[in-house]
C-alpha cells in the first residue's frame, strides 16, 4: 500500500489512539457529511415540488399539442389529419376561451375548456374528480360539464342531488368581446343581441390547483362549439404518442411536416415560467449550500493546521528516513482528501436514505395539503453533482492549504 496514504489514514483514525487531533478530524468529517446530506435532501425536495407542479398543471392536457402561430384558433380538420400521422396514438381537438357563467347570482368570468369524451379519457381529469359521477358527456338529455372546486364554491353549487345543478354559460357573439358586455347582467334586456347563452348541467367538480379550480369549467366540445360559435375550429390539437414513440421523436417528425402557421408545443413549454422559477430556486439553493460547504472547508483547514502542529516532529522524522518534500505534502493532502471522501460518502448515504424513507413512509407530513407528505424525487445526476462539488471544493482547498502550511510550518519539507 502507498506509504503516504497509510500514514494519512492513521492520522485520520487510529484504533488505539484517543488524541485530540482525531476528534477534530472526526468533527470535520461530520460537518462535511451534514452539508452533503442536506444538499441531497434539499435537491430531492425541489425535484419533488417540480414533479408535483408538473402533475398539478398537466391534468387537463396531454404532453404534446399543435397550436397556431398567430391567432386563437385553427381548422378542426387538422384533428383527423394529425390522427393519421405516423407515431400518433390519439389526436383530440380542444376549445378554450373565457366565458361568463351564472347561477342565481352575479355573473362569473371563467375559462371554458372543452373536448370530447375520448380525449377527456386521455387526460388525468378522471383522477381529479372530487364530487359527482364518472366522466360523461351528457345527462338527462343535456350537456354535462365539470367545474373547479373554486367555481363551485363561488356559485354555491349543490352537487350530488337528485338532479344536477344547471349553469348558464354565455360568450360574446363573433366580433364582440367580453369587454363590451362588462357591467351587464345575463338577464338584462338586450344582452341576447350581444351574447350566445346555453344551459350546462353540472355533473361533478374537480380539484387540480387553486388557480385552475377558481377559474375553469370543463364542457363537451359540441356544447362549446355552440356557445363560442366555432363549429369548424379548435384552439389546439392535443396528441398522445404511440407506445413505440417518444414525445421528442414525434415532435421532431411533426416539425418537419407542419405548415408555417402551426407549431408544436410541449406541456413543459406551456408551463415554462413555473418550471423556470422552480429550477432557479433549486440551483440558487444549491449555490448557497455550496458556499456553506466552502465555510465547512475551513474546519478542514483547522484540522490540518492542528495536525501539522502536532506532527511537526514527525515531519522531521519522515524527511530524515528519505521521504521527499512532495511525499510529505501528500501525507497531509491525503488527510484532507480522506476527510472529504469519508464525509461525502457518509453524507450522501444519509441523504439518500432520508429521501427514500420520506418517499416510502412520508416522515414529514403535510396536514391539510393536496398531498399527504412532502414530495421528494431522487435523481442520479443530483447525487453525482453533489459528490463532484463536495470532493472538488474539499480537494481543492485541502491541496492549497497543505502546500501553504507545509512550506510555512516545515520549510525543510517544502
- pLDDT tier for residue 5 given thresholds of 50, 70 and 90: low
Q: What is the pLDDT of residues 38-78, one digit of tens each?
A: 889 988 988 888 888 777 777 788 889 999 999 889 999 99
What is the model's pLDDT at position 237?
96
Range of 10-19, 213-222, 329-338 with top mean pLDDT: 213-222
What count of other Cβ atoms lies within 10 Å of the Cβ of residue 292? 15
Contact by Cβ (8 Å): 344, 33: yes
- Those residues whose C-beta lies under 8 Å from the C-beta of residue 242, and which sit 6 or more positions away, are 87, 88, 89, 250
Higher local confidence (pLDDT), 112 or 174: 112
Higher local confidence (pLDDT), 309 or 102: 102
What is the model's pLDDT at position 55?
77
Q: What is the pLDDT of residues 136-168, one digit of tens each?
A: 777 777 888 999 999 998 988 886 666 788 899
What is the model's pLDDT at position 293?
77
Tell me the mean pLDDT in the region 78-84. 94
Q: Which of 240, 231, 225 is nearest to 65 (CA)?
A: 240
Tell me the mean pLDDT in the region 265-284. 80
Tell me the mean pLDDT in the region 116-141. 82
pTM surpassing 0.95? no
Assess whether pLDDT exceeds 90 at residue 93. Answer: yes
Check the CA dihedral 130-134-135-137 and report its sign.
negative
What is the model's pLDDT at position 264?
95
Assess whether pLDDT exceeds 80 at residue 200. Answer: yes
Tell me the mean pLDDT in the region 206-235. 91
Q: What is the pLDDT of residues 363-379, one digit of tens each?
A: 888 776 667 888 999 99
Higher local confidence (pLDDT), 402 or 276: 276
Range of 138-147, 187-196, 261-270 with top mean pLDDT: 261-270
Assess whether pLDDT exceeds 80 at residue 323. Answer: no
What is the model's pLDDT at position 16?
47
- Those residues whose C-beta lies under 8 Å from the C-beta of residue 392, and which sit 6 or more positions away, are none
Q: Which of 234, 232, 238, 235 is nearest to 264 (CA)?
A: 238
Tell me the three cell numbers of residue 382.
443530483
What is the model's pLDDT at position 340?
81
Percent of the chain with pLDDT over 90: 33
Assess whether pLDDT exceeds 60 at residue 135. Answer: yes
Contact by Cβ (8 Å): 393, 294: yes
Contact by Cβ (8 Å): 343, 28: yes
What is the model's pLDDT at position 189?
44
Assess whether pLDDT exceeds 90 at residue 270. Answer: no
- pLDDT tier for residue 187 given thresholds of 50, 70 and 90: very low
Tell me the mean pLDDT in the region 293-312. 72
Q: What is the pLDDT of residues 348-361, one digit of tens each?
A: 999 999 999 999 98
Tell me the mean pLDDT in the region 315-336. 69
Across 205-214, 320-329, 344-353, least confident range: 320-329
Assess whether pLDDT exceeds 80 at residue 85. Answer: yes
Average pLDDT, the chain: 81
Amino acid at each position: 500500500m502507498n506509504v503516504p496514504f497509510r500514514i494519512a489514514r492513521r492520522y485520520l483514525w487510529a484504533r488505539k489512539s484517543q488524541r485530540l487531533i482525531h476528534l477534530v478530524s472526526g468533527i470535520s468529517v461530520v460537518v462535511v457529511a451534514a452539508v452533503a446530506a442536506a444538499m441531497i435532501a434539499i435537491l430531492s425536495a425541489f425535484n419533488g415540488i417540480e414533479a408535483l407542479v408538473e402533475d398539478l398543471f398537466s391534468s387537463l392536457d396531454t404532453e404534446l399539442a399543435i397550436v397556431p402561430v398567430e391567432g386563437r384558433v385553427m381548422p378542426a380538420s387538422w384533428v383527423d389529419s394529425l390522427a393519421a400521422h405516423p407515431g400518433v396514438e390519439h389526436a383530440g381537438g380542444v376549445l378554450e376561451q373565457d366565458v361568463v357563467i351564472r347561477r342565481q347570482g352575479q355573473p362569473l368570468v371563467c375559462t371554458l375548456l372543452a373536448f370530447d369524451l375520448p380525449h377527456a379519457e386521455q387526460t388525468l381529469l378522471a383522477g381529479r374528480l372530487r364530487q359527482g359521477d364518472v366522466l360523461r358527456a351528457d345527462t338527462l338529455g343535456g350537456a354535462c360539464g365539470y367545474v373547479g372546486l373554486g367555481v363551485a364554491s363561488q356559485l354555491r353549487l349543490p352537487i350530488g342531488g337528485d338532479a344536477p345543478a344547471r349553469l348558464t354559460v354565455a360568450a360574446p357573439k363573433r366580433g364582440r368581446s367580453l369587454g363590451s358586455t362588462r357591467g351587464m347582467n345575463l338577464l338584462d334586456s338586450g344582452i341576447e343581441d350581444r351574447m350566445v347563452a346555453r344551459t350546462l348541467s353540472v355533473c361533478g367538480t374537480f380539484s387540480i390547483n387553486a388557480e385552475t379550480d377558481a377559474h375553469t369549467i370543463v364542457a363537451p366540445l359540441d356544447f362549446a362549439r355552440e356557445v363560442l360559435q366555432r363549429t369548424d375550429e379548435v384552439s389546439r390539437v392535443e396528441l398522445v404518442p404511440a407506445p413505440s414513440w417518444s414525445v421528442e421523436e414525434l415532435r421532431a417528425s411533426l416539425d418537419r411536416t407542419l405548415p408555417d402557421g402551426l407549431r408544436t408545443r410541449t406541456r413543459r413549454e406551456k408551463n415554462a415560467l413555473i418550471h423556470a422559477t422552480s429550477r432557479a430556486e433549486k440551483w440558487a439553493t444549491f449555490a448557497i449550500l455550496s458556499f456553506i460547504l466552502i465555510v465547512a472547508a475551513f474546519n478542514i483547514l483547522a484540522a490540518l493546521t492542528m495536525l501539522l502542529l502536532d506532527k511537526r516532529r514527525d515531519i522531521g522524522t519522515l524527511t530524515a528516513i528519505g521521504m521527499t518534500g512532495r511525499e510529505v505534502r501528500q501525507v497531509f493532502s491525503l488527510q484532507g482528501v480522506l476527510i472529504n471522501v469519508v464525509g461525502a460518502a457518509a453524507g450522501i448515504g444519509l441523504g439518500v436514505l432520508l429521501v427514500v424513507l420520506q418517499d416510502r413512509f412520508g416522515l414529514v407530513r403535510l396536514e391539510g395539503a393536496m398531498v399527504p407528505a412532502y414530495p421528494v424525487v431522487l435523481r442520479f445526476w443530483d447525487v453525482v453533482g453533489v459528490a463532484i462539488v463536495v470532493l472538488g471544493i474539499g480537494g481543492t482547498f485541502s491541496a492549497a492549504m497543505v502546500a501553504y502550511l507545509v512550506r510555512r510550518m516545515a520549510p525543510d519539507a517544502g
